[in-house]
Amino acid sequence: MCGIVGYIGHREAYPIIIEGLKRLEYRGYDSAGIALFDGTDLKVSKTKGKVLDLENRVASEISTNAKLGIGHTRWATHGVPNDINAHPHYSNSGNLVIIHNGIIENYDSLKKELIARGYTFKSDTDTEVLINLIEDVKLKENVKLGKAVQIALNQVIGAYSIAVFDKNKPDEIVIARLGSPLAVGIGEDEFFIASDASPFIEYTKNAVYLEDEEMAIIRINKGIKIRKIKDDTLVDLYVQELQMNLEQIEKGGYEHFMLKEIHEQPNAIRDTYRGRLLVKEGIIRMAGVDDNMEKFLNANRIVIVACGTSWHAGLVAEYIFEDLARIPVEVEYASEFRYRNPVITSNDVVIAISQSGETADTLAAIKLAKANGAFVFGVCNVVGSSIARETNAGAYTHAGPEIGVASTKAFTTQITVLTLIALKLAKAKGSISNSDYRYHLQELELIPEKVAKALQSDEHIKEVADIYKDARNCLYLGRGYNFPVALEGALKLKEISYIHAEGYPAAEMKHGPIALIDEQMPVIVVATKKGHYEKVVSNIQEIKSRKGKIIGIVTEGDVHVQELADHIIEVPETLEPLSPLLTTIPLQLLSYHIAVMLGKNVDQPRNLAKSVTVE
Ligand code: M6R
């Protein structure tokens, strides 16, 4: 996820773009850049860091006459965050300039073809490949910029929203969208382009939102023309009047970042497996694993180190690695591991999981593991973070920035990456049959739409939240793959509503926690069809006979638990190893609604920080 802004009109472009970028920083903030053209001089400034760093760096050197400009705040996907990889990027001739939000999956093959045709590249980005592809098409086919963009995009696989201009045509910007949002603000002889409407809300309330697979040519004095990228059909212009204020726009219309991030999960999971999960071919492509396959296959065991929610994702991974790939796994709190003199050798593979990539305990655990000769693999969200740099290899989750302190999309995307790795290893080891392997790939591809379906229970979950919001304690139970989900559900409730909650393996309840159960105690039980269903139903009966209040997270169409439980929340059916990706959704929503009803600061709960960089 990145933020893009563009302007063409009669005003000075620089202040509009720089202020717009500040408003889009929630979309990414590891580097920023701007390109301004005053009809003669093209000025491009880029820097690692925040928009403020860009502002400090360029304030003195930027042309204030430019009425055309584009700017970008980056959340790295290809290439670490640094000055060179920051956008805008320009073509080899220096004439075409681009900003891009998204991922070009086939950038590697396109790059090879362009290199063979004499093109050179300064950055590691997929974006620089795209702008040179556009230039190549433009020159080869002798077409205008808009046509060149269209032809080039038809060769591209991936997701994008882009804005491009040509120095030789300073009255025009070409934009396009597939999978990443793009809005155009329409003023009097001026146009604003942005990832959302926040950068232009004070200039115009009239906006056009591009749909997927659409592109637009925006020309001063001539207006905006939208076409389908595939077949060039002209699209009717639908101008909307914006009703939202600035804060609502930044949160995508949601009340809190946490809610926005919960609802982003279908797309976030899709972005995680994009370009990696090739269902038709029956392939999982992950360079970090492919390049180190021998290390994984020859390992005595895998040790997972992480903290908090990432540790819970590690527990889910323990089940899936052992179940499918038959590799022994141990999951350790990084804070314990680093101080307990663990037995680690060069025959171990250590997987470190971290959303931020900056958690001090996880970083220290990695250093200890490396010092003992282990091969360390990172699963991080933030590209170029300390953990991503410290590990020997890794795979990013590509969840986009997570702003809410409570992890939501980080958890499900971490599980997605770990599932891909487990399936890849299982295939390589032959511990999974071909048909089972294919079935898992197909089901994984369906998870985003099933998550979207699970999210539709939001209103019902809100009603349940209203009934239990005043509870003093809550118990979360699950078995097998859904035991870590119970832990994660309890953590979500604790951290944002400050209600005491415990997660337990359902069968452990009778060894102690059952003493807590009375008519005041809500017990949230994950009881999906495939995971030890009958056993969990027996556990539910034990709770019922002690008058506990039961909220069952069940598979769609379940009738058995419905008879016993006070409330049920349904999730779509899937394979058991993938079920945490669905069962966790209602638990996130339940804690969110309870916290909102209690008037808590959901996005910034007390005493917590998004990334814990101290011991
Ligand atoms: O950035 P990391 O994934 O390393 O962070 C680990 C924990 O601090 C984090 O998951 C924390 O537990 C969250 N607040 C949970 O919602």
CATH assignment of the domain containing 103: 3.60.20.10
SS3 label, residue 252? coil
Q: Is 190 left (phi over 0), alpha (psi -120 to 50) or beta?
A: beta
The pLDDT assigned to 200 comes to 94
Ligand 1 centre and the CA of 493: distance in Å?
14
The CA distance from 387 to 374, in Å, is 15
- The count of other CB atoms within 10 Å of the CB of residue 58 is 20
Burial label for 84, CB within 10 Å (0-12, 13-18, 19+), is middle
Let me know whether 54 and 156 are in one domain.
yes
Does a structural domain hold residue 444?
no
Pocket test for ligand 1, best of 353, 356, 592 (most atoms within 8 A of CB): 356
Residue to mutate (ligand 1; options 310, 331, 356, 492; most atoms within 8 A of CB): 310
pLDDT of residue 80: 83
On whether both 268 and 195 belong to a single domain, the answer is no
* 475 and 428 both lie in a single domain: no
Q: Under a CB-based contact definition with an 8 Å cutoff, are residues 344 and 303 in contact?
A: yes
Let me know if residue 609 belongs to a domain: no
For 294, the token pair is 């021998």
Residue 369 · residue 303 · CB < 8 Å: yes
Measured in Å, residue 75 CA sits from the centre of ligand 1 at: 19
d(CA 436, CA 433): 5
Ligand 1: residue of 258, 262, 309 to mutate (most ligand atoms within 8 A of CB) is 309
Q: Ligand 1, closest atom to CA 309?
A: 10
Q: State the distance from the centre of ligand 1 to the C-alpha of 403, rounded, in angstroms.
A: 12
Q: Which atom of ligand 1 is nearest to the CA of 362?
A: 4
| Same domain flag for 417 and 474 | no
Q: So which residues are the catalytic ones? A: 2, 610
Q: How close is the Cα of 611 to the center of ligand 1, in Å?
A: 7
Question: Which residues does ligand 1 sit against, CB inside 6 Å?
Answer: 307-310, 354-356, 359, 362, 405-407, 491, 495, 608, 611-612
The protein residue whose alpha carbon is closest to atom 11 in ligand 1 is: 308
- Separation CA 248–CA 131 (nearest Å): 33
Asked if 474 contacts 494 with a C-beta cutoff of 8 angstroms, the reply is no
**Rg, C-alpha atoms of the chain:** 25
Q: Which helix (H) or strand (E) holds 59?
A: none
Please name the residue ranges forming H helices in 430-532.
434-455, 458-468, 483-497
Q: Are residues 382 and 480 in the same domain?
A: no
Closest protein CA for atom 12 of ligand 1: 308
- Specify if 164 maps to a domain: yes
Q: Atom of ligand 1 at shortest distance to CA of 307?
A: 6
Residue type, 506: A
DSSP codes joined into one string, 208-240:
EEPPTTEEEEEETTTEEEEEETTT--EE---PE
Strands laid side by side in the 183-186 sheet: 42-48, 31-37, 68-74, 3-8, 191-194, 183-186, 206-209, 240-241
Q: How many CB atoms lie within 10 A of CB 145?
A: 22
Model pLDDT, residue 32: 93
Amino acid at 537: V
Is residue 250 domain-resident?
no
Q: Which has the closest alpha carbon to 412: 262, 257, 574, 570?
A: 262
Same-domain status, 472 and 527: yes
Question: Tokens 């390589």 appear where?
Answer: 428
Q: 579 lies in a domain?
A: yes
List all residues 6 or more positions away from 103 whose beta carbon is below 8 Å from its beta carbon: 77, 78, 126, 158, 159, 160, 271, 274, 275, 398
Give residue 614 CA to ligand 1 midpoint distance, Å.
13
CATH code, 546: 3.40.50.10490
Distance between Cα 364 and ligand 1 center (Å)? 15
Q: Whose CA is nearest to atom 14 of ligand 1?
A: 406
pLDDT of residue 528: 93
Which of 432, 447, 468 terminates a domain? The answer is 432
Nearest Cα residue to 269 out of 487, 488, 530, 585: 585
Same domain flag for 427 and 483: no
Structure tokens at 37: 């053209």
Of all atoms in ligand 1, which is nearest to the CA of residue 611? 1
Cross-strand pairs, 324: none
Tokens matching residue 607 = 């005493």
DSSP E strand boundaries for 375-445: 375-380, 393-396
Looking at the fold, whether 10 and 51 belong to one and the same domain comes out as yes
Within this chain, do residues 208 and 84 fall inside the same structural domain, yes or no?
yes
Domain end residue (candidates: 207, 223, 243): 243
d(CA 161, CA 527): 41
CA of 525 to the centre of ligand 1 (A): 24
Q: What is the pLDDT of residue 407?
A: 97
Name the pairing type of β-strands 158-166 and 234-235. unpaired
- Residue 608 domain-assigned? no
Which ligand 1 atom sits nearest the alpha carbon of residue 414?
3
Atom 8 of ligand 1: nearest residue by CA position: 308
Give the 3-state secondary structure of residue 362. Answer: helix
Pocket test for ligand 1, best of 407, 414, 487 (most atoms within 8 A of CB): 407
pLDDT at position 63: 60
**Ramachandran angles phi, psi of 38, nearest 5°:** -105, 15
User: Which residue segment(s) compose the domain that 314 sits in?
Assistant: 255-432
pLDDT of residue 613: 67
Buried b (16+ CB within 10 A) or exposed e, 314-350: bbbbbbbbebbbebebebbbbbebbeeebebeeebbb
Residue tagged 């809190």 (tokens): 256
* 615 in a structural domain: no
pLDDT value of residue 565: 95
State in Å: Cα 390 to ligand 1 middle: 18
Q: Which of 305, 612, 613, 614 to mutate to test the pocket of ligand 1 (most atoms within 8 A of CB)?
A: 612
In the chain, how many domains are there? 3
For the record, the structure tokens of 80 come out as: 């670490």
Same domain membership, residue 265 and residue 239: no
Of 218, 243, 268, which closes a domain? Answer: 243
Q: Which atom of ligand 1 is nearest to the CA of 359?
A: 4
Residue 483 and residue 584 in one domain: yes
Q: How far is the CA of 422 from the centre of ligand 1 (A)?
A: 22
Region for 416 from its dihedrals, namely left if φ exceeds 0, alpha if ψ lies in -120 to 50, beta otherwise: alpha
Residues 276 and 362 in one domain: yes
pLDDT along the chain (615 residues), means of 10: 92 94 84 92 90 82 82 85 92 96 91 97 95 98 97 94 95 93 93 92 92 95 94 93 76 92 96 94 96 96 98 98 97 95 95 93 95 97 85 94 93 98 97 97 98 98 97 95 97 97 92 90 93 86 91 94 94 97 98 98 85 69
Cα(351) to centroid of ligand 1, in Å?
Answer: 16
Give the atom of ligand 1 at the shortest distance from the alpha carbon of 356: 1
Atom of ligand 1 nearest to the CA of 406: 16
Residue type, 172: E
Evaluate whether residue 378 is within a structural domain. yes
Residue of 322, 305, 459 whose CA lies nearest to 372: 305
